[in-house]
Structure 1
Amino acid sequence: MTLDFSKIKPKKRGDLPVNPVELFQNLKVSDPGINDLWLAQGDALREWHENRAKPDVGIVLNTGAGKTLVGLLMAQSLVNEQREKVLYACSSIQLVEQTTEKARGYGLDVTTYFRHEFSNDLFTRGEAPCITTYQALFNGKSKFLNEHLAAVIFDDAHAAEHLLRDHFSLRIARKEFSDVYAAVHALFKRYHDKTGKAGSYAELEDPRCHHLFLIPPFELHSQLGEMTRILHEARLQQEKSTMFAWEHVRDHVDTCCIMISGDDITITPPFVPVRSLPYFNTGVRRVYLSATLSAPDAFARTFGCIPEEVIAPTTTAGECERLIVIPSRANLERDDIEMAKDLIDRRKALVLVPTYSRATRWEDVVQPPPRNEVSRYVREFRDAPAADSVKLLLAARYDGVDLPGDTCRAMVIDDLPMGVGPLERYLWEHLRLSAILRTTIASRVVQSFGRISRGMSDHGVVILTGERLVEWVLIPKNRAVLPAFLQKQISLGDTVSEQADSIQDLLSAAEQCLTRDDGWIAAYNDYLTDAEPENADVDIELLTRLAKSEAEYGRLMWCREYEEAAKVLRATLDDAFAFSAGT
């Protein structure tokens, strides 16, 4: 049989739409929930289109305002314009799968990349964006480090900080590298003996010890040769748990912080040098999708810059009705966690905790899923009937989990959502940098509330437990950096909780909220209309200037441009000291 060459014709590309609104209008949408663009979505897309050539653009849309559709349209628009490779980064594999499913419903073709595999070759051919994870993008052996990229869309940019820090942090677990741990611990014993900390440092011999030690840079430099030998002989590049971070830090140990705790040693840069990566080169466009950019200093520490254009259309999406219950404020002589357990006993509920050790307080009710099975547990919880009293506990997961409407109407936020990394723990516990970390904590608090919220028509009960969290949200200076809408809800919840004389009073209040009781709705609407939020007494401009200085210092130190790094930091040193001596 001979080949009929007469049927071989060149494919006509046609005119691919670059305007994202026009692109949407040409889609064959199968998702029944999408009839047209919402007002805020259209406003965001049109304004971005006018500013699309700028290297860094922020898009702020509340949780529930259709941010995913906006981001995917921008990604495909950039592909159509440049016919080059465009990445769309998510914070987890679960969100990659969720975003891909939404793209199909919108009628958009995409490529996915996770677990070392591309789903198709559309990305390689410059025909569709690739949806991948921050992990795939920022690990030290990322295949994308050597790709020529036209643009990167960072979804949930407000949640990226700890993900980036994790990839630049080499953690040497005591259980896995007992000889390495012992050698490094011994290396710095003499220093701690000389400085009067021999007793507390010796306690690290017990793996359960919670002490955390920061090795001073001058002491690290004096022992650098021996430290390098120990790390080299450990063959960290061959172990899966260390090879990816080792790729980043192996030639930069002397510019990193060394932290020693009872169960591991962490080597991490004081400021993540994210701007040293090729994704931030000139010529690459970056779009940051976020539910909040109200903390520009935290954003600057994460990405090393502030977007030159921030697009934030006015929308009430995400401002759902909430009753916030604070059990410790009630007139009861009981532990607030035990009261919270009573409140959710017969309800389907999500429990958020900052650490796995904190999760042990809930083990008689629910245990966290295995780390590699979180996505499956979230799916099963979401699909469980609303009438079930099933519980889901997540540790240090304040983003990437969406449980709107009847999928979950009750949630517990237990303890302050601080970072789980040792450096941030050191800043918080030892240097008491509560002022400099205020906006970062506020961003995580806002993220936490968004887990069971979608739009104005949604409603639910949120229970706050843990002395540090309750104290934080009730301090006016802290509450002032939260959105005004959430401030009013916290104030209302505090008032309701203070009036409770029994657990039954709290149960009754929650029931009235969830059953849409007329009395509750009227009181809620009146309170939010009349309440006045706190005025923010925070110099965001100063905090942002300090954060940008730190980020640029971190990049220059990483590149070993020591003199320039010193100049950058010196320029803001007086301001930093005036703001906070610890800083």
Structure 2
Amino acid sequence: MAIDFKKKLSSRTIAPKTDPVELYGTLDRKSVAGPLRPAQEAVLSEWYTKRRTGKDLIIKLHTGEGKTLVGLLLLQSLLNSKEGPCLYICPNIYLVKQVCAEADKFGIPYCTFDKDDGIPNDFLSGTRVLITHVHKVFNGRSVFGTGNGYTRTGTVLLDDSHACIDTIKRAFTISISKTTNADVYSKILTLFADDMVEQGEGSWLDIQSGDYNTFMTVPYWSWDSKRTEVLRILSAAQNDSQIFYAWPLIRDQITNYCCYISGTKIEISPYNVNIRTFGSFSHAAHRILMSATTQDDSFFVKGLDFSPEAVKNPLRNMSPKWSGEKMLIIPSLVDDSCDHDLIVTKFCKMPTPKFGMIALVPSTKNCKQYKDLGAIITTAGSIFEEIDNLKKGDFSKIVVINNRYDGIDLPDESCRVLILDSLPYFDSLADRYEEQACPNSELINKRIAQKIEQGIGRGVRGEKDYCVILVIGSELVRFMRSIATNKFFSAQTRKQIDIGIEIANMAKEDYDESESPVKVVISLIKQMLERDEGWKKYYSSEMNKLEDNNTESTVYERLLKERQAEQFFSEGEYGRAISTMQRLIDEIAVDDTEKGWYLQQLARYTYPTSVAKSIEIQKSAFKKNSQLLKPSSGIDYTKISYIQQNRLNNIRAYMRRFSSYSELSLAVDAILENLSFGTEATKFESALKDIGELLGYMSQRPDKEIRKGPDNLWCGSNNYYLLFECKSEVSETRQEITKHEAGQMNNHCAWFEDQYGQDAKADRFMIIPTKNLSYEGDFTHDVRIIRRNRLKSLKDQIKGFVKELKPYSLDELPDTTLQEFLALHHLNIEDFSAQYSEEYYHKAK
């Protein structure tokens, strides 16, 4: 017999608690679950009394302040208020398990999906919170429905929402691998072959040969004219796993998509994610996003349809200003010899029986050095198993995580040393295209900064947690230190970078020259890990000076206008799309490259109503930014010459781009790092163009700028030209220059003569790891070869030249001295052939 205790409490109804702070006191928590932390209580009280009725809310908490419990309590409060159903969404399945464990610990009733994939009745009836992952909700065949056939929800909460937004974009994207879906890949490649040759014959040849790094964008006018053929190809293959989940989202919206083709895959992705497709999210009465305090939330405006006001006014605990302890060390600032390769080699060989070491790298290529040194390289299938091994105390080897900066927790001993290796890499071709076209864009740089901050945060997961973060790779160091890009980090991260620079300076001051510089770096790490009291007090003292100097940014309005323009275009309101984009161009102050980017969008919006006008706008876009689509009616080539040019003034003009010698030195280091074999072609060629400008020459990339001609062209005094064909991605074990490569060089030499005449004085170089020309190949002109050693010699001389400038103010540096430095380091145009190149060897049959 069961006693009904409720009768003893009189006949009044017992109402469930709706105040989340009071609610917490009624839960059947496990004994390890103590009282709410002050930060949790402050946020929950603020939400309940002032913010609970709004549709959109962002909650920002420091790592380790218990945001999972805050999210669960909010949802339970809403369920108790009869405002369900409530959905808690994690970025991956691994984190679903963690949240379920937290819900068990605190006594919060929840449900998950069973194997039959049906939506649980406990969720639909509003009696339990449903905990699931983002893939389950956001896909074209979602169990929650799309369009008007969606499942009603009261509240949807996205945990680690920055990780979720990337996954949501991927849900709208079809990625067709050449390896696993050769038939569909080949059909689309053939369909657009003629269009792509017009955009760049050399790049198209590289794509056909299977080059991973080279990719091209299908022109929107070609995509529009062949959309029916594309739909037929995709429809016939819709049951393929690479197409299946996204097909329902794409099939009726194909004009709102862009196609990118590389040597290994084809990507079809939307210009903007139409989140309104998922009514369970877009029509929810409340949408709550959980975000770390270091993250920039502006992208929620465009990606998740949030208002700028909701993004600008998050719910946050204003105290404390920072959480956790991070010692950022930039080894190259301690000493130049502590470069990328030395740090990787040293730490891969270092035994660490008491704690885990992690390396975060941006791409598979960056993993190779670690793999050769015996590190554990994680894959998508093994990553969470390896993380569990770390948490269980298996610290036998350094663990390398490839291009994964979010959704991973590495608390306490599982990660005491984190190597942040090289600048993060955009994986999607759409993102890479925007980065390539607008490298100085505030939006692009914010996203890069966000990835870096996500990476930095992996090793410190609580208020008392601590971790050393080693920052290596010239481009990454430059991004974190440069005035132009440092501003895109949160105030907390900027302060930690400042501390890192300061301790590097301290280390240099106390540096004993008889000691190896890398030992100084290791000594700093030991001080931190052995909990040196001086360090702890110094760090706290510096971090307590932190000021949250939020400056008003136009980025919210830009993203809002971008979203609105795309929405109008997708709905067929072309006039409103055009006027919205025109206002953005007129009102937002951007440089020419970004203005070109927006003019290309304007040309695309104009195309359905006036092809002629669209072509004219596209021409304007291309003139401002040659990385964009070449207009269908072509562009005239502008020849370079040295008439009226002063080389020394050109050098000074280049250097004035930088606020200090330190900024210049950082920039040159990053450029020279990209001027290396193994670097993707676009970065290598861009670096070579920059070197030409640094040395005072007129410098062009004809193949990129007009889709014809050599990769690089320099012009010096007396109209002396240097023509470069770059093969930076050729394997260093390759034995010969192929007939195809020789033919390509011959075509570019012919183009040069056609443009500049047969009498133009020119040296012609091929930058490639081998000097052996195949028996079948032939050069029509005198061609010199630049291999690894000669390229290294050039880079060393450029470094030496830049170091000569350190004691001088540019305005006070006499012409004679500057010219003397150039001559000393063999950097005059007539030096290049003898100093940095060699003759090729024609192989006999």
Fold shared by both chains (TM-score > 0.5): yes
Contact 1:79 1:126 in 2 (8 A): yes
Q: Give the equivalent residue in structure 2 for 1:161.
A: 165
Q: Quick one: structure 1 residues 67 and 577, their matched pair in 2 at CA, closer, same or farther if it must change by over 3 Å? A: same
The reply to whether residue 44 of structure 1 matches residue 43 of structure 2 is: yes
Q: Give the equivalent residue in structure 1 for 2:211.
A: 208
Q: Quick one: structure 1 residues 527 and 152, their matched pair in 2 at CA, closer, same or farther if it must change by over 3 Å? A: closer
Alignment of structure 1 residues 527-542 onto 2, 5 Å: 527-528=542-543, 540=553, 542=554
Q: Secondary structure of the equivalent of 1:357?
A: helix
The reply to whether residue 393 of structure 1 matches residue 400 of structure 2 is: yes
Q: Give the equivalent residue in structure 2 for 1:504.
A: 519
Q: Give the equivalent residue in structure 1 for 2:66.
A: 66
Alignment of structure 1 residues 107-256 onto 2, 5 Å: 107-113=107-113, 117=117, 121-145=121-145, 146-195=150-199, 197-233=200-236, 235=237, 237-256=238-257
Question: 1:527 Cα deviation (Å)?
Answer: 4.8
Q: Mean alpha-carbon deviation: is it higher for 213-222 or for 441-450?
A: 441-450
Q: Which of residues 365, 379, 388 in structure 2 aligns to 1:357?
A: 365
Contact 1:296 1:544 in 2 (8 A): no
Distance between the aligned counterparts of 1:535 and 1:87, measured in 2?
A: 35
Q: Secondary structure of the equivalent of 2:389?
A: helix
Alignment of structure 1 residues 473-512 onto 2, 5 Å: 473-497=480-504, 499=508, 502-512=517-527
Q: Secondary structure of the equivalent of 2:16?
A: coil
Distance between the aligned counterparts of 2:332 and 2:539, measured in 1?
A: 21
Question: 1:275 Cα deviation (Å)?
Answer: 3.1
Which residue type is aligned with residue 333 of structure 1? Answer: S
Runs of at least 5 residues in structure 1 that lack an aligned partner in the other structure? none
Q: Secondary structure of the equivalent of 1:238?
A: coil
Q: Secondary structure of the equivalent of 1:36?
A: coil
Q: Give the equivalent residue in structure 2 for 1:408.
A: 415
Contact 1:343 1:506 in 2 (8 A): no
Distance between the aligned counterparts of 2:454 and 2:470, measured in 1?
A: 15
Question: 1:454 Cα deviation (Å)?
Answer: 3.1
Q: Quick one: structure 1 residues 375 and 61, their matched pair in 2 at CA, closer, same or farther if it must change by over 3 Å? A: same
Q: Quick one: structure 1 residues 39 and 227, their matched pair in 2 at CA, closer, same or farther if it must change by over 3 Å? A: same
Q: Quick one: structure 1 residues 317 and 525, their matched pair in 2 at CA, closer, same or farther if it must change by over 3 Å? A: closer
Distance between the aligned counterparts of 2:568 and 2:173, measured in 1?
A: 18
Q: Quick one: structure 1 residues 572 and 437, their matched pair in 2 at CA, closer, same or farther if it must change by over 3 Å? A: same
Question: 1:371 Cα deviation (Å)?
Answer: 1.5
Contact 1:155 1:288 in 2 (8 A): yes
Which residue type is aligned with residue 42 of structure 1? Answer: E
Q: Percent identity?
A: 25
Q: Secondary structure of the equivalent of 1:372?
A: coil
TM-score when normalising by structure 1:
0.90
Q: Quick one: structure 1 residues 113 and 369, their matched pair in 2 at CA, closer, same or farther if it must change by over 3 Å? A: farther
Distance between the aligned counterparts of 1:396 and 1:69, measured in 2?
A: 29
CA-atom RMSD in angstroms = 2.8
Contact 1:366 1:391 in 2 (8 A): yes
Q: Secondary structure of the equivalent of 1:399?
A: coil
Q: Mean alpha-carbon deviation: is it higher for 517-526 or for 505-514?
A: 517-526
Q: Give the equivalent residue in structure 1 for 2:382.
A: 373
Contact 2:65 2:463 in 1 (8 A): no
Q: Mean alpha-carbon deviation: is it higher for 134-143 or for 176-185?
A: 176-185
Q: Quick one: structure 1 residues 576 and 367, their matched pair in 2 at CA, closer, same or farther if it must change by over 3 Å? A: farther
Q: Greater RCO between the two (CA within 8 Å, min separation 6)?
A: 1
Contact 2:322 2:543 in 1 (8 A): no
Distance between the aligned counterparts of 2:418 and 2:26, measured in 1?
A: 40
Contact 1:396 1:417 in 2 (8 A): yes
Question: 1:330 Cα deviation (Å)?
Answer: 2.9
Q: Secondary structure of the equivalent of 2:122?
A: coil
Alignment of structure 1 residues 438-517 onto 2, 5 Å: 438-497=445-504, 499=508, 502-517=517-532
The reply to whether residue 54 of structure 1 matches residue 48 of structure 2 is: no
Q: Mean alpha-carbon deviation: is it higher for 326-335 or for 473-482?
A: 326-335
Q: Give the equivalent residue in structure 2 for 1:383.
A: 392
Question: 1:555 Cα deviation (Å)?
Answer: 3.2
The reply to whether residue 518 of structure 1 matches residue 521 of structure 2 is: no
Q: Mean alpha-carbon deviation: is it higher for 264-273 or for 354-363?
A: 354-363
Q: Give the equivalent residue in structure 1 for 2:99.
A: 99
Q: Secondary structure of the equivalent of 1:545?
A: helix
Q: Quick one: structure 1 residues 317 and 135, their matched pair in 2 at CA, closer, same or farther if it must change by over 3 Å? A: farther
Contact 2:405 2:455 in 1 (8 A): yes
Distance between the aligned counterparts of 2:212 and 2:140, measured in 1?
A: 30
Q: Give the equivalent residue in structure 2 for 1:566.
A: 578
Q: Quick one: structure 1 residues 31 and 417, their matched pair in 2 at CA, closer, same or farther if it must change by over 3 Å? A: farther
Q: Secondary structure of the equivalent of 2:144?
A: helix
Runs of at least 5 residues in structure 2 that lack an aligned partner in the other structure? 7-11, 599-845
Distance between the aligned counterparts of 2:398 and 2:345, measured in 1?
A: 11
Q: Quick one: structure 1 residues 552 and 417, their matched pair in 2 at CA, closer, same or farther if it must change by over 3 Å? A: same
Q: Quick one: structure 1 residues 94 and 14, their matched pair in 2 at CA, closer, same or farther if it must change by over 3 Å? A: same
TM-score when normalising by structure 2:
0.63
Distance between the aligned counterparts of 2:341 and 2:441, measured in 1?
A: 25
Q: Mean alpha-carbon deviation: is it higher for 520-529 or for 462-471?
A: 520-529
Q: Mean alpha-carbon deviation: is it higher for 124-133 or for 498-507?
A: 498-507
Distance between the aligned counterparts of 1:31 and 1:560, measured in 2?
A: 59
**Structure number with bigger Rg:** 2
Q: Quick one: structure 1 residues 112 and 520, their matched pair in 2 at CA, closer, same or farther if it must change by over 3 Å? A: same
Contact 2:358 2:400 in 1 (8 A): yes
Contact 1:256 1:270 in 2 (8 A): yes
Distance between the aligned counterparts of 2:97 and 2:544, measured in 1?
A: 40
Which residue type is aligned with residue 167 of structure 1? Answer: A
Which residue type is aligned with residue 414 of structure 2? Answer: T
Contact 1:112 1:131 in 2 (8 A): yes
Q: How many residues of Structure 1 are paired with residues of Structure 2 in the alignment?
A: 567
Q: Quick one: structure 1 residues 406 and 296, their matched pair in 2 at CA, closer, same or farther if it must change by over 3 Å? A: closer
Q: Secondary structure of the equivalent of 2:63?
A: coil
Q: Which of residues 529, 539, 561 in structure 2 aligns to 1:549?
A: 561
